[in-house]
Chains A and B, each alone.
Chain A
Amino acid sequence: MARLGIDVGGTFVDIVLETDGGNLVFEKVLAEPADLVGAITSGVETVLHEAQVPPSAVREIVHATTRGSNTVLERSGPRTAFVATRGFRDILQIQRALRWSMYDVQLEKPAPLVERSLSFDVAERMLPDGSVLQPLTEDELRSVAAAIRASGAEAVAVAFLHAYANPVHERRAVAVLADELPGTVVTASSDVSLQAREYERANTAVVNSYVATAVSDYLRELVTKLPSTGIEAPVWIMQSSGGLASMEQVLERPVRTLESGPAAGVVGAARFGSGLGYDNVLSFDMGGTTAKAAVVNGGAPATSSYFELQRVGNRRGSGLPVDIAALDLVEVGTGGGSIAHAREGTLRVGPQSAGADPGPACYGRGGTAPTVTDANVLLGYCDPSAFAGGIALDVDAAAAAVDGLAASLGVDRVRAAWGIHEVATLDMENAIRLVSINRGFDPRAHALVCLGGGGPVHGPRLARALGVRVAVVPRAASGGSARGLLEASASVELTRTARLQLDDADAGPRCKTILNDLVDQAGASSFGAGGDVTAVCTLGMRYAGQGYEFLVPIDVATADPPRIAEAFHERYRQAYGYAEVEHPVEVVTWHVALVRSRAERAPAPAHAGGARPRAPGRRTVYYPETGLVDVDVHRRSDLRPGDTMTGPCLVTETTTTTVALPGDTVEVAPDGALLVHVGDPG
């Protein structure tokens, strides 16, 4: 029995086949926008052929899709209408209104998906406690429906104030609109989010309606055409939360799949880490245009109940908010293709990227700007004769590109190349600190799992900067997300806003009621019955009176108010050095994920390894600790579990290189992963 992971990215489709023996076959094909499904099916056929696995042996397909987020990115969704509480039709235009680039006179707000002329309001009003102040009038709603019909809008979102506390008006409105507008997608805000914040929740409903048709058309085409490859297996879709959903679930709430691909990488990192005994992991996935990082604590990726689409330069407020459970990812515009340039006489990397075309100068496709990859080639980190899938790199072109920058900075070529590498790594270090320390996690207690083509190149240096003791490079690391897909479990999440102060007299029973209700409600959705399902609970907590919640995982079985409060104090103490133990703690958001456990898989093939393998090659490499130095170059395919090597050295594979620093020790784990034990800074 075999399983397929298919990750559709911006430029490539990554396909990983895992055979029942635990072998991995990895293929990258170009993501042809005109016929994406065709590219996927032919890629799948190639992989099956290469692995000599019959299509009938494929038991399941796990898929990450960017169709939803691309629809928003390209603004290619249908005309969408919005219906709000009387007096609030403009909330999509007003937004939270943060000057995300404060000093920029030319600033623009994120463009809403609904134009003002398609925004309507109707008389109705709920209060924060869910009581009805003014009932909904259906007649008015029917005339709004007529206006929507006349406008030609094909999708509608309804968001009423305080619908998280009482969704009855929204539900009624959806029923009336669906009745009046057959064939139109209608989403209620309370159907996609139960969080209190009207703009964010409303926009989430809008996004859901906006992407619904594109996502369902794409998925239907995929399941229609996959059988042509001979595969007859169910397709699971990765959600932003890192859990898998069935096709039916995704068609109900496509907004949950927007961060599908990035989530897969983190899920993979969590499983690779825990498989090696590291439950606390920093996931670091560096591709061609961006790098993404996330924290995994106790085996569970950190989640957030909010993210933004189309954020600019990682600046809060620059994108469209989505109040959906998602893995807490931070994205930096620093990838292999990021262009280095001089500014104010010093060096910057990105956010401009050479992309895949023309790509870095060393690709020899006409690029002349110095990129991170060019720097890595000049530093000796990347093998010019075997880069990502066998592209031969043009070292002279890389040198010419970097020389221009070096001249303007008044330094030599190698110093400039090192500077590019160092600044790129620093950007990622700063990003990781934001998702780790400020969320109460100490990076020093974590292992860094390096994914993507750039992860193993920068990972050991990044680990050293963060104080991380070990960097892990899993097998097929450069196809990180596709591999991660194979590690995911089916899950369904539900988040509710309900304030509960933990020192209230009835906190214990109320706590139990809320959690049980959520678990029941999650189970009653299309997740369905059967199988071994575990409930994973995360509570958003704060000191009573604060406004931001810390997400703290709790054990549903043993959760009582004192234990929950103590877990919060401890998390707070980790982040800020002290806790306000006398101050009452309140729970604000309740997040439940039902996770179906996976069948255990056969372990990866084990081979007996030698202690200190001989390196088949040598290469000249630059480290600031040593200057230019000749180091051993190992071929990863030659290594066996138990092998150890001493840094500085390189381990190459066809799609990436692991760069071990002076003082590092590289060990091959039983499952074939490389463990780079970080040496003391030289």
Chain B
Amino acid sequence: MSAEGGVDVDPLTVAVVWGRLAAIAEEMAEAQQRCAFSDQVREGGDYSTAVFDATGRMLAQANRSPAHLGAMPHVVRNMLGAYPATSLAPGDVIVLNDPYMGSGHLPDLFAMSPAFDADRLVGFVVSCIHLTDIGGPAPGSQAVVGVTDSVQEGLRLLPTRLYRQGEPVREILDLIGANVRVPDAVLGDIRAQRAALHVGATKLGQFHARTGTRVVDAAAEEFLTRSEQAVRHELLAIPDGTATFVDHLDDYGPGTPPIRLEAAVTISGSNLTFDFSGTDPQTPSSLNCTLSYLRAYCYWVAKAITTRDTIPQNEGQLRPVRVTAPPGCFFNPVQPAALNGRALLNQRIVELLFGALSKIVPDRVCAASGQWVNPIFGGAEPDTGRTFVFYDYVMGGVGARASKDGLDAIPPTVSVENIPVEAQEARNPIIVERYELIPDSGGAGTFRGGLGVRKDIRMLADDVVLSNLTDRHVFSAYGLFGGRDGVLGETVLNPGAPAERRLHSKEVVHLQRGDVVSFRCSGSGGVGPPSERPRAKVLEDVRQGRVTPERAHELYGVDVP
């Protein structure tokens, strides 16, 4: 098949080009994960990769963190604004982490390389990694309190050339290394991005050489259109209408008020609009959410109710979706608002929209999920004095679905994985004392919400700084259609000891050797009245220790024989 003599883009050619481009994005993702240095990338999967065409359209994204998706087209445009395509050579790597140029928060470093077929630029490959640290007031750079503007939050890079024709620009790498707490992990991850870009640019160039750029471009145009049509086709089958939903974040630090989140979802023909005008203004903390991050999870929702995982994500599927939030809103903060604490919002955006969509497409959504906890510990190892940043995830569960129970202990939206405790203990001065499901935490319902998780971590070093980052200590995960809310989460310092104290969900706290912090994710919401749950299922929950006999009686009216 060649490009000469007209471009043949029948459906079969489209399938071949589409499949190969998606596979290149996956191959990049695998390279990045294998080469990475930090736990959140190599074990947790907090990164993404994508393939763009020469005009800057995103053709395929790997099935990784959706957070970066909404941002990528914007990021690539800004990079090309600073470094026009004609100034790029094979082996170049351009990076940026400026939140307002698309990254969303400073720890997310985007990197891009051009792909060439011989001396012709045929497209771009992009990688994004959540770096372990980027400076700022607390280890891991995600402190919410005591931060009021973005400059406090760490090192900010506008579009910057980091590799020139394969050679590192030493002074920039040194600059980054000098401004972060764990330069080995950070620079190691950047090298992993370079590895992924090398793999992607090489493959993309070869694919163009083999298939012909005109064929690839024409096929890409075709599958973007078909992807868009697939989304529109699903939307058309849904009755037109508008629905709104309100949820609240607990607050943005001790002594602060709740943040009211409101979304209006409108389905009109084959168009889907998400409007966040009713949401509170931006906060004087790092808990704010850029429009690009908001968009990323709006796209997540659009895909979850239409094409799901039947086709890989690409720009065509974003076309039917419009996202609006007024400037100065919590979801569209203006400079110099701080932003690094936004990680806990991924599922909250989805839940807000699912709440509204439950009134339109109840069978395609789930009740609210257990809030994940994203604590970061930092300090020095007692024996070696080596600086460590211990970045952890504790995943709650998933809310009940329209016709089945929720899930215990798995993230509701993102594709990150639990980091093995054996790996965490080998690399950080900590001991995990408990890692268990929390009985009775799932919201009761005809379909029960997933259980939350408890993880207790003991410090083996003095002077450790913990930035807690979680929510739903005050506002619980909602149930739907008569299902109960999930049980609230909490963070407890030294549980059971005389010094026991409840920690705030966004508290920054200094810990000493022997201190234990117990993270308890909130439970997920249920669906349908608990009274309609079959007795046998309640008894099975009791038998499996997911529901106690007392709660079986109280919530379900089932007495355990």
A103 touches B229 (CB 8 A): no
Asked if A161 contacts B422 (CB within 8 A), the reply is yes
Q: Which of B10-18, B269-277, B281-289, B325-333 contacts A (4 or more CB under 8 A)?
A: B10-18
Scan B21-51; emit 1 where CB is below 8 A from any A CB, else 0.
0010011001101111101011101000000
- Chain A positions within 8 Å of B307 at CB level: 103
* Residue B227, interface by CB 8 Å: yes
Chain B count of residues within 8 A CB distance of the other chain = 90
Q: Which residue of A lies closest to B414 (CB)?
A: A99
The chain B residue with its CB closest to the CB of A88 is B435
- Known contacts A117-B545, A411-B10; decide if A128 and B425 are in contact (CB<8 Å): yes
- By a CB distance below 8 angstroms, the chain B residues around A198 are 420-422
Q: A99-B414, A411-B11, A438-B30 are in contact. Are A105 and B366 (CB under 8 A)?
A: yes
Chain A residues with Cβ below 8 Å from B15 are: 346-348, 419, 423, 426
Select A317's contact among B12, B31, B417, B437, beta carbons within 8 Å.
B417
Query: Nearest CB to that of B350 among chain A residues?
Result: A105
Interface residues on A, range: 35 or more
Q: Which residue of A lies closest to B42 (CB)?
A: A547
A106 close to chain B: CB less than 8 A: yes
Q: In the assembly, what is the distance between CA of A576 and CA of B6, in Å?
A: 36
A392 within 8 A of partner (CB): no
Known: A197-B423, A547-B39. A97 touches B417 (CB 8 A): yes
Whether the Cβ atoms of B436 and A90 lie closer than 8 Å is: yes
Q: Which residues of B contact A423 (CB under 8 A)?
A: 12, 15-16, 19
Q: Does B166 contact A (CB under 8 A)?
A: yes
Beyond A161-B422, A346-B11, A430-B20, whether A580 also contacts B191 by CB under 8 A is: yes
Q: Is B308 an interface residue (CB 8 A)?
A: yes
A434–B30 touching, CB < 8 Å: yes
> Would A438 and B27 be within 8 Å (CB), given that A409-B11, A419-B11 are in contact?
yes
Q: In the complex, how many angstroms separate the beta carbon of B59 from the nearest chain A beta carbon?
A: 15
In the bound complex, residues from chain B placing their C-beta under 8 Å from that of A344 are 223, 226-227, 229-230, 310-311
A-B residue pair count with CB separations less than 8 angstroms: 228
Of listed B12, B36, B42, B199, residue having the most chain A CB within 10 A: B12
- Among the listed A99, A415, A575, which residue makes an inter-chain contact with B410, where contact means beta carbons less than 8 Å apart? A99
Interface string of A100-133 (1 = CB under 8 A from B): 0111111111000001110000000101100001
Kindly list chain A residues whose C-beta atoms are within 8 Å of the C-beta of B407.
107-109
Known: A410-B11, A411-B11. A434 touches B202 (CB 8 A): no
CB distance from A342 to the nearest CB of B (A): 8
B401 lies within 8 A of chain A by Cβ: yes
Are the C-beta atoms of B304 and A105 separated by less than 8 Å? yes
Q: How near does chain A come to B263, taking the closest CB pair, in angstroms?
A: 17
In the bound complex, residues from chain B placing their C-beta under 8 Å from that of A580 are 191
**Can you name the residue of chain B whose Cβ is closest to the Cβ of A101?**
B309
Flag if A197 contacts B422 (CB, 8 Å). Answer: yes
Residues of B71-118 contacting chain A, CB below 8 A: none
Q: Give CA–CA (A486, B45) in the complex, Å.
A: 41
Q: How far is the CA of A545 from the CA of B37 in the complex (A)?
A: 5
Which residues between 156 and 177 of chain B lie within 8 Å of chain A, taking CB atoms? 166
A546 near B188 with CB under 8 A, answer yes
> Which residue of chain A is the closest to B311 with respect to CB atoms?
A344
A binding-site residues for B, Cβ under 8 Å:
86-91, 93-99, 101-109, 115-117, 125, 127-128, 133, 161-162, 164, 196-200, 317, 342-348, 409-411, 415-416, 418-419, 422-423, 426-427, 430, 433-434, 437-438, 543, 545-548, 550, 575-578, 580, 624, 681
For the complex of A and B, the 3 pairs showing the least CB-CB separation, nearest first, are A547-B42, A419-B12, A87-B434
Interface residues of B (CB under 8 A from A): 1, 10-12, 14-16, 18-20, 23, 26-27, 30-31, 33-37, 39, 41-43, 45, 63, 66, 166, 184-185, 188, 191-192, 194-195, 198-199, 202-203, 210, 223, 226-227, 229-230, 300, 303-304, 307-311, 364-366, 395, 398, 401, 404, 407-411, 413-418, 420-423, 425-426, 431-437, 453, 456, 543-546
- Further pairs besides A94-B435, A161-B421, A347-B11: 14, Cβ < 8 Å: A87-B436, A97-B395, A317-B417, A343-B311, A346-B14, A418-B12, A419-B12, A546-B36, A546-B37, A546-B42, A547-B39, A548-B42, A575-B31, A577-B198
Sample 12 A-B pairs with CB under 8 A, ordered by A number: A106-B401, A107-B407, A128-B426, A197-B420, A344-B223, A344-B229, A409-B10, A415-B12, A546-B42, A547-B37, A550-B34, A576-B199
